[in-house]
Structure 1
Amino acid sequence: MRALLMALAIASTLAAVPARAEKADSTKPMNVEADALRYDDLNQTSVFTGNVVVTKGTIIIRGAKINVKQDPEGYQFGVVTAAPGQRAFFRQKREGVDEWIEGEGETIEYDGKADRVKFIGRAEMRRYRGTELSDETSGAVITYNNTTEQFNVDGNPGGATPSNPGGRVRATIGPKPGASAPAAPAAPATKLRQSSTLGGEKR
């Protein structure tokens, strides 16, 4: 009976406060929508299946299944898996700037306590400035740390795919905002001299 009440309590969070761009996403409640839920009170785990959509502060996660475990401090660790042949999706706003981190992978691991996300299998991560794509990278595994704003990318030379025959890391890095081509050399100064005409006529 207690487990059923806890499951209903979790389900009730689906109508919680909408996501906002706030600094500590890791401390925000995790809201989940799915076709089915299996809750284990003893192990403090929840398994959501079927068209899963997760929101947590500015974070949005989508996949076929997510297994969520909560520690005694209230932090969540989630493992998201995609449907066969597809990839799960993750998106989060960066604090203080109009930038978003977005990524995909066959499996996504989210660690709320460490504020870290890992994309595994056909991994791809993008950074948007506003709506414009700025940077893009792909590899076998990508680990992004939101606290330090650093990420690591591992390739898989032995696991080439049709989209990446070499299995190597690929990256496209855009220029920083405000960057422009070097200014052209200034034209030589022209010495002004007095004219004896005004409007084409003698003064």
Structure 2
Amino acid sequence: MCNNLKAILLTTLLGLPLLAQALPEDRQQPIRISADRATLNERTGITVYTGNVEIVQGTMVIRGARVELHRSDAGVQRIISTGKPAQFQQQPSHDQPLTKAYGERMDYRVNQQEVTITRSARVDQGQDSFTGERIVYNMEKAIVNAFGSDSESGQRVQMVIQPKPEDK
């Protein structure tokens, strides 16, 4: 059982480089996972980390109180992070600032390169920010879609976009 668990954890770790599709050197960086506890279900392919979870690979950082890694034979397919807040950050390219996302729940679909942030969602890139009840951020296309609340609370999407500096 111990050798089997080691093999599955190794497989999970080897699949994590698929997560970093931003800076090319991110994929070449070691992956560091820290948590208070980890539980692996061999049948479902889901590893659950709990307690101050942090996953780091290059500029990509995922933090949460609880993080689920869903993997298949093809590697990690999905990461779900929850917390108050759960956090995600990555630098899209050398010429762009670090993108940071916050919310109570984040669902990162690795193959689609898309993070869906819900409940008190916020995405910051440089001095620009987007807030709403739900934000869908497509990293590959650099598209942010923000949605307000459907309830009577009436939370609206808020965006703050700074003016571009003028060339002198």
What band does the TM-score fall into relative to the shorter chain?
0.7 to 0.9
Structure 1 residue 24: Cα displacement: 7.6
Identity %: 27
Structure 1 residue 137: Cα displacement: 1.1
Match of 2:156 in 1: 168
Greater helix share, 1 or 2?
2
Match of 1:150 in 2: 143
Structure 1: runs of 5 or more not aligned: 14-18, 161-165, 184-203
Structure 1 residue 158: Cα displacement: 1.8
What per-residue deviation string (whole Å, max 9, x for no partner) do you get for residues 164-196 of structure 1?
A: xx41111100112x326xx9xxxxxxxxxxxxx
Q: How large is the RMSD of aligned CA atoms in angstroms?
A: 2.9
Which whole-Å CA distance do the structure 1 matches of 2:30 and 2:108 have between them?
14
Structure 2: runs of 5 or more not aligned: 15-19
Which whole-Å CA distance do the structure 2 matches of 1:118 and 1:140 have between them?
11
How many aligned residue pairs are there? 162
Please say if residues 26 and 60 of structure 2, whose CA atoms lie closer than 8 Å, have aligned partners that are also in contact.
Answer: yes
Question: Which of 1 and 2 has greater Rg?
Answer: 1
Greater strand share, 1 or 2?
2
* TM-score between the two structures when normalised by the length of structure 1: 0.69
* TM-score between the two structures when normalised by the length of structure 2: 0.82
Please say if residues 50 and 65 of structure 2, whose CA atoms lie closer than 8 Å, have aligned partners that are also in contact.
Answer: yes
Structure 1 residue 61: Cα displacement: 1.1
Q: Taking CA–CA contacts closer than 8 Å with sequence separation of 6 or more, which of the two structures ends up with the larger relative contact order?
A: 2
Structure 1 residue 8: Cα displacement: 5.4
Label 1:115 to 1:23 Cα distance change in 2 as closer, same or farther (>3 A).
farther
| Code of the aligned partner of 2:166 | A
Extract structure 1 runs of 4+ deviating beyond 6 A: 10-13, 26-29
